[in-house]
Amino acid sequence: SQKIEQNSEALNIQEGKTATLTCNYTNYSPAYLQWYRQDPGRGPVFLLLIRENEKEKRKERLKVTFDTTLKQSLFHITASQPADSATYLCALEDSSASKIIFGSGTRLSIRP
């Protein structure tokens, strides 16, 4: 069956450290993968999109990698800040149905 898994339900790290979140998928062949941020009681906000032919993508303190062999994406926040505390969702498109499916999310907490 098709699955998108974000292994850590919650992650707590010290301010200034690099946060690394993992997204694994099975039985999908996505053309691209996306990462979103969601704050409590709000809709998700798009952060980054990485295509199947891209190994790495960066945006300011954010970095995403995409390994189609391992079927895995890693999401990094460098020099983390308490304001980065939120739930982060990975999502990929089911190309056969043109719809985006979300992982379960990782709740990231950055302590001062």
Partner 1 sequence: GAVVSQHPSWVICKSGTSVKIECRSLDFQATTMFWYRQFPKQSLMLMATSNEGSKATYEQGVEKDKFLINHASLTLSTLTVTSAHPEDSSFYICSARDMGRGVYNEQFFGPGTRLTVL
Radius of gyration of the chain (CA): 13
**What is the pattern of x (binds partner 1, CB under 8 A) and - over residues 37-56?**
----xxxxxx--x-x-----
Pick from 20, 68, 85, 104: which binds partner 1 (CB under 8 A)? 104
Question: Per CB under 8 A, does 103 bind partner 1?
Answer: yes
Min CB(102)–partner 1 separation in Å: 5
Question: Per CB under 8 A, does 32 bind partner 1?
Answer: yes
CA distance 58 to 99: 25
Separation in Å, CA 22 to CA 51, 66, 70, 88, 94:
17, 10, 12, 10, 19
Find the DSSP H helices in 8-77: none
Question: Per CB under 8 A, does 58 bind partner 1?
Answer: no
Applying CB under 8 A, the residues found at the interface with partner 1 are 31-32, 34, 36, 41-46, 49, 51, 89, 98-105
